[in-house]
Amino acid sequence: MRSSLRSRLLVWYSAVLLVVLSTFAALAVWSIWQSSVEDLDARLRPLATQLGNAVQVDETGRYEVNLAEASLAEFGNTVDAPYYAIWTADGTLIDRSDPFVDGTSPTTTGARVREGRREVIVRVSDGTMVLVGRSLAGAEQNVWSAATALALGGGAALVVAFLGGWLLLGRALAPIAQIAATAEAMSESNLGLRIDVSTTDELGRVATALNRAFDRLQEAFERQTRFTADASHELRTPLASQIAELEWALSRPRSDKEYEESLRVGMKAAERMRAVVEGLLTLARADADAAPLRREAIDLSALVEDTVATSRAAADARGVSLDVEGHGVVVDGDPDRLRELISNLVGNAVQYGGSGDRVVCTTSATPASVVLEVRDTGPGIDASDLPHVFERFYRANKARSRSAGGAGLGLSICKWIVESHGGRITCDSAVGQGTCFTVELPAANSATRPAV
């Protein structure tokens, strides 16, 4: 079973604290030991020197030590009594105290630890070797007392830190539990749930970022829901029209003219369904980044003229004049996609225009960008509809759009084409004053040549 984040953090925190406390305790114990030994050495050396200087030789050549017994009394009690031994330069034992049992003469001077005792060895001026020692029991007792106190204090500190860490981590990680609970409670029926942001620390910023992600998720889900509903409606309407027409034609024998008219109506409904399906396929590929661009240098002015030429028949049928202004404007882009962009914008202007209206396509260039404007003198768009004109299936005048054969996807496709080229598209319109769509694209590199 996986442990919780709180438990894992607490284990790591406690382990680190234990290592720190153990290291501190070890250093403290070592320091106390060293201090105790150095203090003992500082007391033993003067006595050794004093003993060495007290050695005398009488008339018979016999060595004597003239040292009052009171000189050793400062070293303590019978349990922790000091001891000494004195040798001549040739290693002959001169004198020793009762606790000293080893009569072997040392060969070097300095301090040493032997069998739980600290011994200091000095050589005086005439070569006499003096050893003074004392049990380390007192120093060891000091170290043991300090180690016990540090162990008890460290253990208590570790327990307090563990309990405090458990409480603090519980409070610190409470927002994470709330985040998880909110995320688990979210479903398509309650996408409006949000995390309560009550702090400005790192977790507060995480909660804010997640709330923004939830906002985008909700918007995307609502868009998808609307898109699905609109797509179903757009496909159902021509399909119902086609079925109704076929049922009418098959209900009883008809004349050739009536059958021809019925087939013409069915064909128009099928063409409308094809337009919707092709638009949906284009946008689906765009959403999945499965519609790569084939970039090359293009004479945008020539592409506009060529595309507008294919719309002149429809424009003449509606009494709309089509004009093109500008030449020699080069852009780096996908010619097929840009042709679709121009065709959609011009086609919209022609469809919604009436007799006597005018559509003007203008291309121009600046050092940094290329601009395409499609301006018409048609009925215009209400200000309340302008923010939505590039949304999928949105129609400013739904009845008129449907009668004109539009699927409500053309401007969405235009927006995708422009943005995939690194540009932007805007719409400026007013009711009764016409509409102007402005496309800004990055200028082509001066080293590129337009496609022929």
- How confident is the prediction along the chain (452 residues), in pLDDT tens digits per residue? 466 777 888 888 888 988 998 999 899 999 988 888 888 888 888 888 887 777 777 766 677 776 654 455 554 445 567 778 888 888 888 877 766 656 667 778 888 887 777 888 888 877 888 888 888 888 888 889 888 998 899 889 888 988 988 888 777 777 777 777 777 777 766 777 777 777 667 777 877 888 888 888 888 787 777 777 767 766 776 777 778 878 888 888 888 888 888 888 888 778 777 777 777 777 777 666 667 788 889 999 999 999 999 888 888 888 999 999 988 899 999 998 899 899 989 988 998 888 889 999 999 998 889 999 999 998 988 888 888 888 877 766 554 444 445 557 788 889 989 999 999 999 999 898 899 999 999 987 643 444 43
CB 432 within 8 A of CB 379: yes
Q: How many CB atoms lie within 10 A of CB 47?
A: 21
Cα angle vertex 290, ends 286, 291, to 5°?
A: 65
What pLDDT sits at residue 188? 67
- Distance from C-alpha of 390 to C-alpha of 427, rounded to nearest angstrom: 9
Find, among 161, 165, 164, 163, the residue nearest to 153 by Cα: 161
- Distance from C-alpha of 411 to C-alpha of 283, rounded to nearest angstrom: 11
Beta strand pairing status for 110-114 and 93-96? unpaired
> Which residues, at least 6 apart from 210, have a Cβ–Cβ distance to it below 8 Å?
179, 183, 195
What pLDDT sits at residue 75? 46
What are the CA-CA distances from residue 297 to residues 292, 294, 330, 333 (Å)? 16, 10, 7, 6
For the whole prediction, is pTM greater than 0.85? no
Which structural domains are found in the chain, ordered by start?
5-141 (3.30.450), 202-287 (1.10.287.130), 296-442 (3.30.565.10)
